[in-house]
Amino acid sequence: MTKKKLLTLSLAAALALSATSASVYASPTNAVSEKVHVNQKSKTADLITGHLTVPSNKAAKEIVFTYLEKQETLYKTGKGSAAGFKVVSETKDELGMTNVKVQQMFKGVPVFGSVISATVNKEGVLTAVSGTLVPELFNKASLKKGATVKPAAAAATALADLKANIGDDVAIDKQIGPKLTIYVDGGVPKYAYSAEFQFLYPTPGNYQYFIDAKTGKVLDSFNQMHEAKPTNGVTAPTGTNATATGKGVLGDTKSFNTTLNSNGSYLVDKTRGGGIFTYDASNRTRLPGTLWLDADNAYNAAYDAAAVDAHAYAAETYDYYKEQHNRNSYDGNGAQLISTVHYGRSYNNAFWNGTQMVYGDGDGVQFTSLSGGLDVIAHELTHAVTDTTADLIYQNESGAINESMSDIFGTIVEYHANNNPDWLIGEDIYTPGTAGDALRSMADPTLNGDPDHYSKRYTGTGDNGGVHINSGISNKAAYLLANGGTHYGVSVTAIGNDKTADIFYRTLTQYLTPSSNYSHYRASTIQAATDLYGASSAEVASVKAAFSAVGVN
């Protein structure tokens, strides 16, 4: 029997015998050895690890493509020109490994949410393939014929539905698409048009729509405010770099970088990546507003406070990712960090709109100026990191993982900056008249009505399928991993904040994919810890215990 046939049969046997993972094929040095994780929910292989190929001098993407082609029986992608993959990104990580993310294609059309994240080590060995593909597209009657609805008609249908739900007065600032894609609707893959609508009035939103390309009906829609694709374009003023001081929302004095010229002092920091820019919306709802200009480089007026914090905390978030993970801004390529404060009147929210950060002043009762919380700023900017790495779909379990990653790193950045750190989210800006409360507690998510165990998860359609609610499950796991404790009878040994952050960062950037659910999340985090500390390490044991403690097995 040839090695290829043996490998294929071994993989099939592993899938049949195990609902978690199984050793597939042990072999001598420089030969193939594999372990397959089968997703608890989907019952499909979503993580294959080990020495998946022999050492090679070929390009990483070529190694990945060759492997996927050989595994068409496992993934059921089929042979021929109809099946294919497109490289989304290729990066090197802190261990010297190359990560290649590839998009599944069918007849030249991308399959929504179907991305594989593959890792090739320094010896040219493929060590991990993470993610799932939509199988047997070549055999689906629903894809035998292409689109019959015109793109313009699909866009009109989506816009009409948006107006029916948001209001006829919705003012679209930007429309992306419609673009033809393959969308899995209730288990059936269909040709669909994908379209995005970004707007600020009557309420900020960035809605993703999928319109059936044959019937013209709305298949799905959701607000993906944190997942719009970033663009840059701000031009920095000429001038010299300077350091200024000012008082923040909570009255604390801090220093930050500015740009000086004959006009005065601009809240522009040109020393970090592509620059950090802070704007004033002047209580209007137009973005980005006016670039903040001060006469004397001393920002001590009450109106300055929101801008001081937005500017300084954006720098602290940038510094954390650069110093701890060697990441140059949220995209890894020095993207500009743009913030606007004093947005709207008494606006009780902050958001990343895909291009920049936006902060309301709050109404003074539910919130004070939302830029006054470092964990809030780091939370929102981590959504941008997620968008440019795992690109977790902002819906259902993948959306809950997306939200939790932002909570995790919002907290970690707070500890890194030693800014009155704790495991609460938004405590500095939430209900200023009430001490000790917060938007969420990672130590005890149930304090805010969120689940702390997978068995307690929300399964309704509200909150985009529970993206904020079910983030409590992952938040509790992260808290236990860093701090230790016993939960639901499972004891977890603490590994500290730094190791916890390193593991979750690697999980996010190397192994999670757009459609990851909690089962894949657990397997991915275990693999990230294995990469960093070894399969038999105490850290891996703690990761397994932390996820078991919250019911994710």
Query: How is 449-460 classified by DSSP, letter by letter?
Result: T--SSGGG---S
CA distance 284 to 191: 40
What lies within 8 Å, CB to CB, of 205 at 6+ separation is 166, 197, 198, 199, 223, 225
Among residues 157, 486, 60, the alpha carbon closest in space to that of 68 is found at 60
In the DSSP assignment, the letter for residue 322 is H
Instruction: For 248-295, write each residue's pLDDT tens digit.
Output: 999 999 999 999 999 999 999 999 999 999 999 999 998 999 999 999
**Of these residues, 34, 196, 227, 380, which one is catalytic?**
380
Buried b (16+ CB within 10 A) or exposed e, 490-522: bebebbebebbbbbbbbbbbbbbbbbbbbbbbb
Are 253 and 247 a contacting pair, CB within 8 Å?
A: yes
CA-to-CA distance for 381 and 406, rounded, in angstroms? 8
Place of tokens 């005890």: 444
Q: Is 380 an active-site residue? A: yes
Torsion-angle region of 432 (φ positive above 0: left; ψ -120 to 50: alpha; else: beta) = alpha
pTM above 0.75, yes or no: yes
State whether residue 141 is helix, strand or coil: helix
Question: Which domains are seen in the chain, by residue range?
Answer: 16-135 (no CATH), 151-223 (3.10.450.40), 240-386 (3.10.170.10), 396-549 (1.10.390.10)
Residues 6+ apart with CB under 8 A from 6: 25
| Cα–Cα distances in angstroms (integers) from residue 150 to residues 179, 192, 247, 361, in the given order | 11, 11, 55, 43
Predicted confidence pLDDT, tens digits, the chain (553 residues): 333 322 332 233 333 323 333 333 333 445 678 899 988 887 888 999 999 999 999 999 999 999 998 888 888 887 665 578 999 999 999 899 999 999 999 999 999 999 999 999 999 999 999 999 999 999 899 999 999 999 999 999 999 999 999 999 999 999 999 999 999 999 999 999 999 999 998 989 999 999 999 999 999 999 988 654 444 567 889 999 999 999 999 999 999 999 999 999 999 999 999 999 999 999 999 899 999 999 999 999 999 999 999 999 999 999 999 999 999 999 999 999 999 999 999 999 999 888 899 999 999 999 999 999 999 999 999 999 999 999 999 999 999 999 999 999 999 999 999 999 999 999 999 999 999 999 999 999 999 999 999 999 999 999 999 999 999 999 999 999 999 999 999 999 999 999 999 999 999 999 999 999 999 999 999 999 999 999 999 999 999 999 999 999 9
- The DSSP symbol for 394 reads S
Indicate if 453 belongs to the active site. no
What's the burial of 460, exposed, middle or buried (CB within 10 Å: 0-12/13-18/19+)? exposed
Residue type, 324: Q
- With CA atoms as reference, report the closest residue to 114 among 130, 128, 99, 133: 133
Q: Say which of 379, 416, 453, 468 is annotated catalytic.
A: 468
One DSSP character per residue, 158-190 reads HHHHHHHHH-TT-EEEEEEEEEEEEEEETTEEE
Decide: residue 434, CB within 10 A, 0-12 exposed, 13-18 middle, 19+ buried: exposed
